[in-house]
Amino acid sequence: MDSIVSEKGQVTIPKELRDQLGIRHGTVLEFSATGGKMIAAKQVAADPFEKWSGRGKLPKGIRTVDEYLNIVRNGDSPR
């Protein structure tokens, strides 16, 4: 597939490739040059849950998340 570089240095990525690679409006691409070739790589979004890992604290006396959820779902208050 070919694409022509515009006067402003812009290139249209063919729709078939956008669909295949999941490139949508707002997708960030990283560009690099290797061996005389330009390489564009889609930035992988950070895991949205990573920043919360290890931040939750269970109430005293409750040992597992399942135990806590059972208490909360049944309308009881944690010990």
Number of domains in the chain: 2
Instruction: For residues 41 and 51, state if they share a domain.
Output: no
Question: Taking 80 as the threshold, does the pLDDT of residue 57 lie above it?
Answer: yes
What CATH number is given to the structural domain containing 8? 2.10.260.10
Classify each residue of 52-73 as buried b or exposed e, where b means 16 or more C-beta atoms within 10 Å of its C-beta.
Answer: eeeeeeeeeeeeeeeebeeeee
Q: Which residues constitute the domain of residue 70?
A: 47-79
Question: Taking 80 as the threshold, does the pLDDT of residue 45 lie above it?
Answer: no
32: confidence class by pLDDT, cuts 50, 70, 90: very high
Residue-level pLDDT at 33: 97
Classify each residue of 3-35 as buried b or exposed e, where b means 16 or more C-beta atoms within 10 Å of its C-beta.
Answer: eeeeeeeeeeeeeeeeeeeebeeeeeeeeeeee
Question: Taking 80 as the threshold, does the pLDDT of residue 44 lie above it?
Answer: no
- In the chain, the percentage of residues whose pLDDT exceeds 70 is 95
**This prediction's pTM:** 0.52
Residue-level pLDDT at 79: 55
